[in-house]
C-alpha cells in the first residue's frame, strides 16, 4: 500500500520542486546598508547599489566584490564592481572608480554578507510540496519547507525555519533543530539528533551502521549491532557525500561549530571537537577523539582509539597512528613532528650531493691507502 500523501500547505503558484534551481527576485542593497551589516567605513558614494556578488577580476556594474589577497590588488583599480570590500590596512596607490567599504577583515566580511543573502533567499521557501510523506506522529515547526519526495518518519521533530530539500530521508525519532538546511538526497537514519543552524549538503548519510564485525575462529565475521546514534550540535556544516556512522552504543558526536568538507568518513563512536575543521577525503576511525580547534588537511587518515589534542594541526595526506599533543603540528605517514619533517626534507634534497661527496672521499681514501702500502 502506498503511503498517504500529505496535502500541500502555503505553496506559491508555479513554485519549482527543485528549490535550488529557482531564481529569487533580484534584491537591491545600497552601500550604506552593507556597511552597517559588516561594521564598515565607506569611501566613495554611499548611495550606490548592488544586486549580486562577483569576483574582483570579473565583476560587472551592480555587483559587490572583495579584496583580501594582495595578489589581486591590481584589479581593484580597474574593476567594474560598484562596491569593493577591502581591509582597513589597504593603501591605495591610485584612484578607484568603485565605492570602497573598509573593514578589519575583508574575507570574513564578505562571508557574512553571503550568509545574510542566503538567509534571505531561503526565507522565500515555505510549505510542503507534493508528493511527500510525513508520519502522523511527526511534528513540524513554523515556516518550514519540505520538498517533493521527502520522507519523514514516526516521531521525528523538525524545528522552526528548517528547510528540507527533495528526496531527503528523515528516519524515525530523528530530531532536527531550528534554522537547519538539509539538501537533496541527504539520509538521516533513526534516532539521530541535530542541533540548530546545521547545514548538511547533498548525498550525505548520517547514522549508517558503524563498521563493527567480530572475527570468528573459522575466519568468518559476525556483525555487531550498532544501536547508538549520531549527535550533531549547533552551527555545524557538513559537506556533500559525507558519511557519519552511528555508534555501537552511545553516540558519535560532532560538536558545535565543526566544519566538515566533502567526501569525509567519520567512524562509529568518534568525536569531533568544537570548531574543528576537516578537509575533503579524510577518514576518522572509530572511537578516535578529536579535540577543539583542530585543523585536518585533505586525505588525512586517523586510526581508531587515539586522541588528537586541542589546536593540533594535521597536514594533508598524513597518516596519524598515535595520539597527538595539544597544539602540535604533524605531517607524513606515519605522521610525526612538522618541524622535524621539514628538516628531514631539506636533508633529503641534498642526498645526491652527499652521495657524490662520499664516493669521492672513498676514492681518495682508497688512493691514500694504496700509496701507503
Residue positions annotated with a catalytic role: 268
Q: Which of 263, 267, 322, 260 is nearest to 295 (CA)?
A: 260
Q: How far is CA 266 from CA 56, 174, 288, 314, in A?
A: 37, 19, 9, 16
Run of H or E including 320: strand 319-320
SS3 117: helix
The helix (run of H) or strand (run of E) holding residue 339 is helix 338-349
Enclosing H/E stretch for 264: none
Say how far apart CA 163 and CA 125 lie, in whole Å: 8
What is the SS3 string spanning 88-139? CCCCCCCCCCCEEEEECCHHHHHHHHHHHHHHHHHHCCCEECCCCEECCCCE
CA distance 234 to 145: 20
Assess contact for 274 and 292: CB atoms under 8 A: yes
Hey, what's the torsion of the CAs at 114, 115, 118, 122, to 10 degrees? -170
User: Cα dihedral angle (276, 277, 281, 285), rounded to 10 degrees?
Assistant: 0
Cell of 47: 548611495
Q: Coil, helix or strand for 252? A: strand
Amino acid at each position: 500500500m502506498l503511503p498517504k500523501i500529505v496535502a500541500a500547505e502555503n505553496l506559491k503558484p508555479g513554485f519549482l520542486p527543485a528549490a535550488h534551481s529557482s531564481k529569487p527576485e533580484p534584491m537591491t542593497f545600497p552601500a550604506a546598508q552593507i556597511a552597517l551589516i559588516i561594521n564598515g567605513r565607506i569611501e566613495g558614494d554611499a548611495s550606490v547599489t548592488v544586486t549580486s556578488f562577483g569576483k574582483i577580476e570579473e565583476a560587472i556594474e551592480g555587483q559587490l566584490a572583495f579584496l583580501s589577497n594582495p595578489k589581486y590588488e591590481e584589479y581593484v583599480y580597474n574593476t567594474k564592481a560598484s562596491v569593493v570590500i577591502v581591509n582597513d590596512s589597504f593603501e591605495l596607490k591610485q584612484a578607484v572608480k568603485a565605492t570602497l567599504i573598509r573593514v578589519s577583515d575583508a574575507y570574513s566580511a564578505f562571508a557574512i554578507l553571503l550568509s545574510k543573502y542566503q538567509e534571505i533567499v531561503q526565507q522565500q521557501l515555505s510549505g510542503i510540496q507534493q508528493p511527500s510523506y510525513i508520519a502522523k506522529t511527526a511534528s513540524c515547526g513554523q515556516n518550514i519547507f519540505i520538498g517533493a519526495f521527502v520522507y519523514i518518519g514516526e516521531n521525528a521533530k523538525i524545528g522552526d525555519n528548517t528547510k528540507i530539500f527533495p528526496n531527503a530521508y528523515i528516519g524515525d525519532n530523528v530530531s532536527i533543530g531550528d534554522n537547519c538546511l538539509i539538501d537533496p538526497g541527504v539520509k538521516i537514519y533513526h534516532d539521530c539528533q541535530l542541533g540548530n543552524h546545521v547545514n548538511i549538503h547533498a548525498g550525505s548519510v548520517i547514522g549508517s551502521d558503524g563498521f563493527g564485525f567480530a572475527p570468528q575462529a573459522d575466519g568468518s565475521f559476525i556483525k555487531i549491532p550498532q544501536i547508538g546514534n549520531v549527535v550533531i550540535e549547533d552551527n555545524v556544516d557538513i559537506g556533500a557525500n559525507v558519511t557519519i556512522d552511528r555508534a555501537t552504543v552511545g553516540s558519535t558526536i560532532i560538536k558545535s561549530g565543526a566544519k566538515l568538507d566533502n567526501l569525509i568518513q567519520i567512524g562509529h563512536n568518534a568525536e569531533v571537537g568544537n570548531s574543528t575543521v576537516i578537509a575533503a577525503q579524510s577518514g576518522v576511525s572509530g572511537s578516535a577523539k578529536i579535540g577543539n580547534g583542530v585543523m585536518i588537511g585533505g586525505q588525512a587518515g586517523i586510526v581508531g582509539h587515539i586522541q588528537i589534542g586541542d589546536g593540533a594541526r594535521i597536514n594533508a595526506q598524513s597518516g596519524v597512528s598515535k595520539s597527538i599533543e595539544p597544539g602540535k603540528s604533524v605531517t607524513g605517514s606515519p605522521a610525526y613532528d612538522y618541524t622535524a619533517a621539514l628538516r628531514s626534507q631539506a636533508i633529503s634534497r641534498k642526498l645526491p650531493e652527499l652521495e657524490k661527496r662520499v664516493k669521492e672521499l672513498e676514492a681518495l681514501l682508497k688512493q691514500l691507502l694504496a700509496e701507503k702500502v
